[in-house]
Structure 1
Amino acid sequence: MSEIVVPADWVADRLDGLRVVDVRDAWEFDGIGHVPGAVNIPFDSFRADDHAAEGDSAGDSSGDGQGMLPGADAFADLLSEAGIANGDRIVAYDDTHGVFAARFLVTAELYGHDPDRLHLLDGDFSAWRLDHETTSEAAAFERSEYVVDPPAETPLVDIDEVAAATDDPDTVVVDTREDWEFEEGHIPGAVRLDWRELVDDETRGLKPRGEIESILDERGIDPDRRVLLYCNTARRISHTYTVLRHLGYPDLAFYEGSLTEWEAAGRELETGA
């Protein structure tokens, strides 16, 4: 069974061996409470600047050619300040079904943290506190020396690879935006999958595996094909990418440039559903 998206009981049983990262705003972490032992690394601290993060540019604000990332030095400093080491097992959560926490995990993966040691809490803080203890006491951690060491290959691809994928029958290009955005214009041949289709509003976690697989099958998002994701916000890509990893999809990639960039490169968009 996958341990990428993990239930609250799994986390509660392993708190002593985990580094728990809460990506909510500091006022929520302090004022509402948090998972015991968690450290606060707010989403805005590890996102790219606002212009890039909304997909209005190529997203390469990091200066290291890696999409909508905060920059290697900035990310290393954040994790060092939180006392996180390179070999730590990390579980992240937010209070928005995991979409912001998933971005933290994907950022860590792109900067070289072992993806097998990165976990997303199934649900969010609201789901956690229904059955588990919370605290307002901040845990103290000594500063570490986290070292960013990006792998030679990552799932992040460039515009040319996306263009090639549109002509590849073994690849399905997936647009994770909302319906109205997709209708206004999308990469030719793409299918649409809103990340919220995969979560249950009542439990705040993922829908049952069978339901998710049925949704994916309807769109032709098959584990036997390469899946290439794109969006105009990195967090939505990240959540879908994390869920597909959880389901065992072996060949995943994503593009973090914008459709403005796509058109500026002389490429056309399709319109309509």
Structure 2
Amino acid sequence: MKRNILLALLTLGMIACGASTALAAEVPPLVSTKWVAEKLDTLKTPGQTKIRLVEVGAKYGEGHIPGAVQVKFPSEVFDPETDHMVVGLPEIERVLKSLGVTPGTHIVLYDGDGQPHQVSRFYWTLKYWNVERVSLMDGGKTLWEKENRPLTKDVPNVKRMNFEVKYPPNTKIRAMYSPHIVNALATGDPVILDCRAEKFFKGEVFSVDKWVRTGHLPGALNVFSMASVNGDREFKSKEELQKMYSEKGITPDKKIIAYCDTGVLASHAWFVLNDLLGYKNVSVYDGSMREYANRFDTPMEPGTVYEKFPKTPIQKLEGKQ
């Protein structure tokens, strides 16, 4: 009798250990369209939670990969009560429950709008909230369609699951104005990476629906995030990516804070540096220019204020000096 009980306990222990090992098994940050195509039968199986394919974007209804569900961009990617900041715990749990995933599900995200940085933002959001079993499909729907792979307008019937997100979030990958940006400006460490196109970095254009001062943070280095992908929206080789960043002084030995307008291009840079190139100390300034450039007590280069914007008290004071 005792022997049977011991064997039963041993068996249960082995099952639990196997389940834990399977759950902890790492998934690659990037999968190919071919990899996804080979999993279509699984993806289309009702009730399965092994793999969940997720289109991030606003064009899901125009046609999506069979078996895919949708995360709407930007409404389900940003906290609706903030100016494009990361979603809070209740909201990310609501989104994950609606996707029908469990902690053991391999979540595969792909870009549905031809904007790969948008899907990178949701990838970063999941990592921030400690969801580890997540990958991006390289090339997104742009490449999938170019390869003449199937699309559908059928929406899969996915059962809501009770997904409990681990708290606290991974704050190491999220930078704030204070203390992180303030400290970087004062000391030069971490390195500040501007992920926008050069014309924005140099202050040559305005985007007044986002910010009213143009230019960049003092001392920032500029590498445009979208230079990391080719015309098919596939990521360039690791050698090309490493060269692109290293040539501008963005090297693995440095701590780096990436920013852009809304934290989207910055999340794309974070994915490349952290998950493709293996950098260890990269974070995203979540507020980015929507926060920084709409303040008038922060240094900018050149920091030109949009000409139609009313004079602030600080500007009036400066005019009297």
TM-score, L = length of structure 1? 0.82
1:175 aligns with 2:194: yes
Q: Deviations over 1:206-231 (max 9, x none)?
A: 12222222211111110111121011
Where do residues 75-94 of structure 1 align in structure 2 (5 Å cutoff)? 75-94=92-111
Counterpart in the other structure of 1:130 = 146
Partner-residue secondary structure (3-state), 1:271: strand
Letter in 2 for 1:254: V
Distance 1:129 1:173, change over 3 A: same
Distance 1:69 1:133, change over 3 A: same
- Write the distance in 2 (CA, Å) between the matches of 1:157 and 1:212: 23
Counterpart in the other structure of 1:105 = 123
Structure 2 residue runs without a partner (length 5+)? 1-26, 43-49, 204-214, 304-321
Q: Percent identity?
A: 30
Q: Deviations over 1:28-69 (max 9, x none)?
A: 3233x212211111113322349712xxxxxxxxxxxxxx12
Alpha-carbon distance, 1:110 to partner: 1.6
Counterpart in the other structure of 1:208 = 237
Counterpart in the other structure of 1:21 = 54
Distance 1:96 1:186, change over 3 A: same
- Write the distance in 1 (CA, Å) between the matches of 2:247 and 2:160: 48
Alpha-carbon distance, 1:8 to partner: 1.3
* Corresponding pairs, count: 251
Alpha-carbon distance, 1:243 to partner: 1.3
- Write the distance in 2 (CA, Å) between the matches of 1:45 and 1:262: 22
Counterpart in the other structure of 1:64 = none
Q: Deviations over 1:218-260 (max 9, x none)?
A: 1111011112101112221111111112111111112122447
Q: Deviations over 1:150-194 (max 9, x none)?
A: 345421122221222235566321011222221222111111111
Partner-residue secondary structure (3-state), 1:249: coil
Quick check: 1:97–1:123 contact (8 Å CA) kept in 2?
no
Counterpart in the other structure of 1:58 = none
Counterpart in the other structure of 1:240 = 269
Counterpart in the other structure of 2:61 = 30
Structure 1 residue runs without a partner (length 5+)? 54-67
Distance 1:176 1:50, change over 3 A: farther
Distance 1:77 1:247, change over 3 A: same
Partner-residue secondary structure (3-state), 1:105: helix
Letter in 2 for 1:255: Y
Counterpart in the other structure of 2:282 = 252
Quick check: 2:263–2:284 contact (8 Å CA) kept in 1?
no
Which consecutive aligned stretches of 4+ in structure 1 deviate over 6 angstroms post-superposition?
A: none
- Write the distance in 1 (CA, Å) between the matches of 2:106 and 2:268: 19
Partner-residue secondary structure (3-state), 1:107: helix
- Write the distance in 1 (CA, Å) between the matches of 2:187 and 2:31: 34
- Write the distance in 2 (CA, Å) between the matches of 1:146 and 1:140: 18
Q: Which has the higher contact order (CA 8 A, sep 6+)?
A: 1
Quick check: 1:21–1:40 contact (8 Å CA) kept in 2?
yes
Alpha-carbon distance, 1:196 to partner: 1.3
Quick check: 1:21–1:91 contact (8 Å CA) kept in 2?
yes
1:194 aligns with 2:187: no
Distance 1:187 1:78, change over 3 A: same
Quick check: 2:117–2:226 contact (8 Å CA) kept in 1?
no
Quick check: 1:5–1:243 contact (8 Å CA) kept in 2?
no
Letter in 2 for 1:180: K
Counterpart in the other structure of 2:45 = none
Alpha-carbon distance, 1:265 to partner: 7.6
Counterpart in the other structure of 1:59 = none
